[in-house]
Structure 1
Amino acid sequence: MHKIKNIAIFGGADIPEESDLYKEVFAVAKLLGEKGYTIVDGGGPGVMLAATQGAVAGGGKTLAVTFDPKNAPGFEGRYVKNQTDQEIKTTNYIDRMYTLMENSDCYVIFKGGTGTISEFGTAWCLARLYYGHHKPFILYGNFWHEIIDVFYKHLQMRNNERDVFKIVGTPEEVIAAIDSFEFEAEQNAKAHFHQDLGEEKAFML
């Protein structure tokens, strides 16, 4: 029985629909939808819209976790074109991010800006805290190799912190990474997926 059912897609909101990145996100989400996964995103434009549209094209289900603040011109908010099967409305940015993670079993992280950095860092931190029962994530794009190498060169990183993610470059490699995570869970007495913890918010202030 598959433990990974819902997959969150993170990435930049300022990605034009004609860009190569948008098309890549669409292709990944479409393939995931065809495989029966539910796609979870933040309900905004850019990577989030591409994720929803791709999932729909692949016949998959979609869930948006939204936050639409006032007086925050630097935040994308709810995007009217991003129409999903279900929507969870949250009251602040942190709650939105953790709700996205709570409602997902695995994350695919694309290129983005500071918001994506916060999501990437939180996903990695939670994976370390719950190591052995963690939710794995996938970094999409070969540029991530350089970023991770810089972290390990200049920061205090544990060796096993590389075990919680995989770096891929094609939609097919995303599927292969998910299959690998599932296989690792089956082989590990301490499954690599938190099944009943539901504790992301335990680390919120």
Structure 2
Amino acid sequence: MDDHLPKPLIKNIAFFGDSHIPEENPVYEDAYEIAKTLAEEGFTIVDGGGPGVMDAATKGAEAANGETIAVTFYPKDAPGFEGRYVGNIVDKEIKTTNYIDRMFKLMEHADLYIIFKGGSGTISEFGTAWVLAKLYYGHHKPFILYGNFWHEVISVIKKNMLIDETELGVFRIVSKKEDIVPAIKLFEEEMKKVKHEHEKNHEGKAYMK
């Protein structure tokens, strides 16, 4: 790479989604293929080190010899949490002590998030990514909502909640695997227009301590 060229603002991409889907599920298959494509494009894949979408993300990236990072925690008193999946083998593991710390570390170590279909855990990650993007708008971390069903989800939220136009500009809904990379490139171009004082002032984090 030419040292005189600016470094890309989007390098690490985190995958969020259901932890219970099997390998034959279309969501798993899409996550695998998307991670593989992104790894081929030079992106590092970040996930929670668990099964389901997380496992698909790691395996897809590894299939393309891409770099993978898992942010994990080993629950002792959270029986509803899936925990670490031994089959999800990554290049680097970052261990945390609780679910909240894990979620924020995942967001800290990624520059963009892709959110797939999931349950209440995925809803919490979606909501956190959204509110952080609003709070730090202009030096925020964008996200992609993957799947056509998100149009209905966002429509219901817009109808029943108080959401402004700025908040609707921090994400894109993508329904096809082949549209992921173009969407990321659009975000990259948009972010280049903004001076990222955020990284200098907050050490690259998407939230305040």
Distance apart, 1:100 and its partner CA: 0.3
Contact 1:135–1:194 (8 Å) recurs in 2:
no
Q: Which residue, out of 116, 120, 126, partners 1:110?
A: 116
Q: Which residue, out of 133, 141, 156, partners 2:147?
A: 141
- Correspondences of 1:56-205 after superposition (within 5 Å): 56-186=62-192, 188-191=193-196, 194-196=198-200, 197=202, 198-202=204-208
Partners of 1:104 and 1:148 in 2: CA distance: 23
Q: Deviations over 1:52-81 (max 9, x none)?
A: 000001221000000110132210001100
Distance apart, 1:190 and its partner CA: 4.0
Partners of 1:202 and 1:179 in 2: CA distance: 27
Partners of 2:194 and 2:208 in 1: CA distance: 24
Unaligned runs of 5+ in 1: none
Change (3 A) 1:154 1:103: same
Change (3 A) 1:127 1:162: same
TM-score by length of 2: 0.92
How many residues are matched?
201
Counterpart position of 1:3: 9
Q: Which residue, out of 42, 47, 53, partners 2:48?
A: 42
Counterpart position of 2:28: 22
When the two chains are superposed, the root-mean-square deviation of aligned CA atoms in Å is 1.4
Q: Deviations over 1:116-172 (max 9, x none)?
A: 000000000000000000000000001001100111100011111111000001222
The one-letter code matched in structure 1 to 2:165 is N
Partners of 1:189 and 1:199 in 2: CA distance: 16
**Alignment pair present for 1:13 and 2:14:** no
Partners of 1:172 and 1:179 in 2: CA distance: 12
Q: Identity of aligned pairs, percent? A: 60
Partners of 2:184 and 2:136 in 1: CA distance: 18
Contact 2:73–2:102 (8 Å) recurs in 1:
yes
Change (3 A) 1:189 1:18: closer
TM-score by length of 1: 0.94
After TM superposition, the structure 1 stretch with the greater mean CA deviation from structure 2, 104-113 or 67-76, is 67-76
Unaligned runs of 5+ in 2: 1-6
